[in-house]
Each structure stands twice: as structure tokens, then as C-alpha cells.
């Protein structure tokens, strides 16, 4: 049976455990991946996902349908991630974690320079604040629109846009060596 | 804000393909005339690829669900079902119910007859497991019947008390991680209307999201 998310959630709200299991299986990987990308701690992820899903079970009835089910669930995950990060005292790096468990989705055809460049970008991402990083991950890992991200993180759309703008600026500053800094700026008119 | 700045803010979502048609078109037009935006697009594509192709562990969803079950079982101090092997061999929903029983929740059901409604509203999908699992079994009559209940978010303490009084039940366990309680019915209620009817009535109550008769461990065959 291929129920829509909203139908599944409605059943969950009625206490349907089978629907809950379906929803759990459907969202496990994206939620887990997002939590991993936010916290960088694989060891934390399983428990965090389950924290998220317990909230989904408990609060399904309060889901008002103003947003998509997926943005609602990711919103729960986002808040859990921020809490976990606050508890850790910092957003840990993800690159150095348990490398044997990592699955790089990049194909073998990728050349070394590209690979290094991407690694550099990913390392730099960990230096962003969790709020800024979340916008980047939600946009490019999970593919959400800015309107959906606004729902997920609970802020106005313009705030999402400016968070992304500052995230880009910081990435650019950190990634590009000084000799090329400002190469593609154009917007600041500082020179 | 200049036109460029305005469109620059939108570029990230042009790259992930989620702009609305109108915005997409505006951005496309601007970009075709703006060198800076074009180079920004290349940067963003690089960022997109780095994020998308970044290493992510693969997570085992089914194992995750079992862990959630185990966590729930861990919440429960009581119940006869503790061996995970036994869980594995049961259909998912039944596993869940046993788990919840282990977690021991429960409440009540008894004198709910007054509010009996024609059909239990819970699990109205044909495939919902609760229907069949909910069918009370005669063997349960050997002990005080217990009911596992999930109350509505909005139920007040006062309403809860009234509900319990009405049912002739008392809370003997809960709430579990999932918010389930176990209610034990007064023995006197047992020879009234059938348990099935009482559970159905309980489900019809506004303050109840889910109600399921559970066997008392000592009497379950
Ligand atoms: Zn431009």
C-alpha cells in the first residue's frame, strides 16, 4: 500500500501502529542523514531519530496540515539537532568520524582535484553555525525550497534567504585562499 | 537592494530547482545578463555537489524501529514479554502491542457502556491491525481485565478522573514513551456488557485516541 504521507499521519494520529511503522521506515534515512550532517556524530543519530519519531507519534494529532508532513517531521528533527548540538557544546566535525562507516556517494570517475575541493567545502561547512548549516543542508542535501525551509526552521522566508547568503559569504571567505578572495564578489563594491 | 542583490538571494534555490515558475523565469532572465550571478551559480553548483555527494553512513531503518521497540520495552518495568526473539517472530503490530503490554500500561475499560458507540472509530482502515487485535479474548476473563489507552492531547486531569470513575478503572502503569497508559478494570465490571463493547465504547470517547484490551499476564495462556 502506498499511502500519502498525510493519510499515514492521519492514521498515526488515530493510534495506528502499522501506519507509524510505515512512516518511520519512510523517513528514517533522510532524517538520520540530516541529523548526522548537523551533529557529525553517527553514534548519536539512532537515538535522535527515535526521539524525533516519538514526537511524531505523540504529536501526530496536533499536525494541522498547514505544511507538508515532510517539513513538519524535518522541523522536529531540526530542533532535536539544535538541542543535541547545544548539549555537545559545539557542532562536531563530520569528516573525521568513524571513516570506516562512511559511504561516499561520489563515483570513482571523480578526479582527485574535485574530490579534494569537495572535501574542503564539506570541512568548511562544519564551521558554519548550526542555523546556517541547516539551511545549506536542507537546500542541497534534502532539496527543499526556501518556503519549506522557513517552515522547517520556523522563521520568515527572508531570514532563510539571508542565512543562506551569509553562509555562502562565510564559505567563500574560508575556502578561497586570500590571493583569489573577492574574485567573484561583485556585490560589495569594496574595490 | 539592487536588482542583482535581490536575485542573488534566490540563486541557491535556482540551483536546487525549487523556485516557483515566475521567480525561476525572473532569475533566469537576470542571470543571462549578469556575469556575477553566473559565476555565483557555478559556485553554488559546486556547493550543491559537495553537499549531495558527501559521505553519509547508511542507517538501518528496520533496526532503528526495533531499537525504538526495545527502548519502549525498556521503559516498561513489567510484562512477560522480554525476549526479543519472541518479538521478531510476531507480526509488527502484534509485537508492538505486546511491547506496550510489557511496558505495562493500562487502564481501563469498564463501565463505558453508557457511551457505547456503534463502531470503534479507531483503526477505521481495513488493514489497520487494531481491529482484529482488539477483539477481546475470553481467556482474559480469568483476571482483572486491562486496557491499554492513549489519551488525547487535550484531555484535562479532571476529565481523566471522570473517565476513570465512569469506567470503574484505575491506572496501573504508564505513560510509556509513546504516552500509553494501562488501566485495570474493577472486577465487578467484568460480568456486565462484553469487554468488546466496553472497549469499543472507550474508543468512542473524545478523550481517547486509542484503546486496546490486553490480557493480564497471569491469565494469558
Ligand atoms: Zn546578478
CB contact under 8 A, A140 and B129: no
Asked if residue B157 is part of any domain, the answer here is yes
CATH number of A5-95+106-178, picked from 3.40.50.300, 3.30.450.270, 1.10.10.10, 3.40.50.150: 1.10.10.10
Asked if residue B179 is part of any domain, the answer here is yes
pLDDT score at B83: 33
**pLDDT, chain A, mean:** 83
Q: Does A166 touch chain B (CB under 8 A)?
A: no
pLDDT score at B164: 81
Question: For chain B, what is the domain count?
Answer: 2
Residue B118 confidence (pLDDT) above 90: no
Task: Provide the percentage of residues in chain B whose pLDDT is more than 70.
Answer: 59
Distance CA A45, CA A85 (A): 12
Which of B19, B37, B52 is the last residue in one of the domains?
A: B52
DSSP reduced 3-state for A186: coil
Distance CA A131, CA A145 (A): 16
* Assigned C-alpha cell, B99: 511491547
| Of B130, B137, B146, residue with least CA distance to B217 | B146
CB contact under 8 A, A140 and B16: yes
Give distance in angstroms: CA of A131 to centre of ligand 1: 26
CB-CB neighbors (< 8 A) of A24 in chain B: 61, 64-65, 68
Asked if residue B197 is part of any domain, the answer here is yes
Which A positions 125-154 lie with beta carbon below 8 A of chain B?
A: 125, 136-137, 139-141, 143-146, 148
Please give the C-alpha separations between residue B203 and each of A12, B150, B164, in angstroms, as whole numbers.
15, 10, 13
The CATH number that applies at residue B192 is 3.30.70.80
pLDDT score at A113: 83
Residue A132 confidence (pLDDT) above 70: yes
CB contact under 8 A, A125 and B61: no
| Of B196, B187, B189, residue with least CA distance to B166 | B189
CB contact under 8 A, A144 and B10: no
Q: Does A62 touch chain B (CB under 8 A)?
A: yes
Asked if residue B79 is part of any domain, the answer here is no
Give distance in angstroms: CA of B38 to centre of ligand 1: 7
- Tens-place pLDDT, residues B163-216: 887 777 878 777 766 677 778 777 655 556 677 777 777 777 778 877 777 753
* Assigned C-alpha cell, B202: 472507550
Residue from B13, B127, B133, B154 to probe the interface with A (highest A Cβ count within 10 Å)? B13
Q: How many CA atoms within 13 Å lie on the side-chain side of A27?
A: 29
pLDDT score at A180: 42
CB contact under 8 A, B129 and A45: no
- Tens-place pLDDT, residues A65-107: 778 899 999 999 999 999 999 988 765 555 444 443 444 444 5
Give distance in angstroms: CA of A120 to centre of ligand 1: 26
Asked if residue B152 is part of any domain, the answer here is yes
Asked if residue B132 is part of any domain, the answer here is no
* Assigned C-alpha cell, A184: 567573484
pLDDT score at B177: 61
Instruction: Among A103, A139, A146, select the one facing B58 at the smallest CB separation.
Output: A103
- Tens-place pLDDT, residues B143-156: 677 778 877 777 77
Q: Is 0.80 surpassed by the pTM of this model? A: no
CB-CB neighbors (< 8 A) of B93 in chain A: 17-18, 21
Asked if residue B89 is part of any domain, the answer here is no
Average pLDDT of the residues in B60-80 = 68
Q: Structural domain of residue B14, as residue ranges?
A: 3-52
Amino acid at each position: 500500500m502506498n499511502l500519502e504521507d498525510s493519510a499515514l499521519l492521519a492514521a498515526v494520529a488515530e493510534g495506528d501502529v502499522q501506519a507509524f511503522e510505515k512512516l518511520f521506515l519512510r523517513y528514517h534515512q533522510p532524517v538520520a542523514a540530516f541529523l548526522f550532517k548537523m551533529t557529525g556524530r553517527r553514534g548519536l543519530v539512532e537515538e535522535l531519530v527515535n526521539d524525533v519519531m516519538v514526537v511524531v507519534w505523540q504529536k501526530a494529532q496536533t499536525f494541522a496540515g498547514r505544511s507538508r508532513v515532510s517539513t513538519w517531521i524535518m522541523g522536529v528533527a531540526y530542533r532535536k539537532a539544535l538541542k543535541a548540538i547545544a548539549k555537545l557544546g559545539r557542532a562536531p566535525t563530520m569528516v573525521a568520524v568513524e571513516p570506516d562507516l562512511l559511504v561516499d556517494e561520489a563515483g570513482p570517475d571523480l578526479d582527485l582535484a574535485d574530490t579534494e575541493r569537495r572535501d574542503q567545502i564539506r570541512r568548511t561547512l562544519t564551521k558554519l553555525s548550526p542555523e546556517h548549516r541547516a539551511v545549506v543542508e536542507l537546500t542541497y542535501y534534502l532539496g527543499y525550497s526556501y518556503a519549506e525551509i522557513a517552515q522547517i526552521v520556523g522563521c520568515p522566508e527572508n531570514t532563510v534567504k539571508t542565512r543562506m547568503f551569509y553562509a555562502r559569504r562565510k564559505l567563500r571567505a574560508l575556502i578561497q585562499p586570500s590571493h583569489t578572495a573577492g574574485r567573484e564578489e561583485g556585490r560589495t563594491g569594496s574595490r | 537592494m539592487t536588482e542583482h542583490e535581490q536575485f542573488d538571494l534566490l540563486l541557491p534555490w535556482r540551483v536546487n530547482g525549487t523556485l516557483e515558475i515566475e521567480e525561476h523565469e525572473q532569475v533566469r532572465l537576470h542571470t543571462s545578463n549578469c556575469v556575477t550571478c553566473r559565476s555565483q551559480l557555478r559556485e553554488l553548483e559546486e556547493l550543491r555537489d559537495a553537499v549531495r555527494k558527501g559521505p553519509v553512513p547508511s542507517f538501518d531503518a528496520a533496526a532503528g524501529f526495533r531499537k525504538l521497540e526495545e527502548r519502549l520495552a525498556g521503559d516498561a518495568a513489567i510484562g512477560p514479554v522480554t525476549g526479543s526473539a519472541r518479538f521478531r517472530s510476531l507480526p509488527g503490530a502484534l509485537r508492538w502491542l505486546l511491547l506496550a503490554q510489557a511496558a505495562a500500561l493500562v487502564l481501563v475499560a469498564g463501565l463505558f457502556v453508557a457511551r457505547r458507540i456503534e463502531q470503534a472509530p479507531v483503526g477505521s482502515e481495513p488493514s489497520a491491525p487494531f481491529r482484529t487485535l482488539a477483539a477481546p479474548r475470553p481467556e482474559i476473563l480469568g483476571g482483572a481485565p486491562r486496557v491499554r489507552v492513549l489519551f488525547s492531547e487535550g484531555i484535562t486531569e479532571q476529565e481523566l478522573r471522570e473517565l476513570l470513575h465512569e469506567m470503574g478503572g484505575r491506572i496501573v502503569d504508564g505513560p510509556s514513551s509513546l504516552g500509553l497508559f494501562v488501566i485495570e478494570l474493577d472486577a465487578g465490571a467484568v460480568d456486565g456488557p462484553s469487554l468488546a463493547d466496553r472497549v469499543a465504547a472507550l474508543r468512542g470517547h473524545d478523550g481517547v485516541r486509542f484503546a486496546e484490551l490486553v490480557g493480564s499476564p497471569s491469565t494469558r495462556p
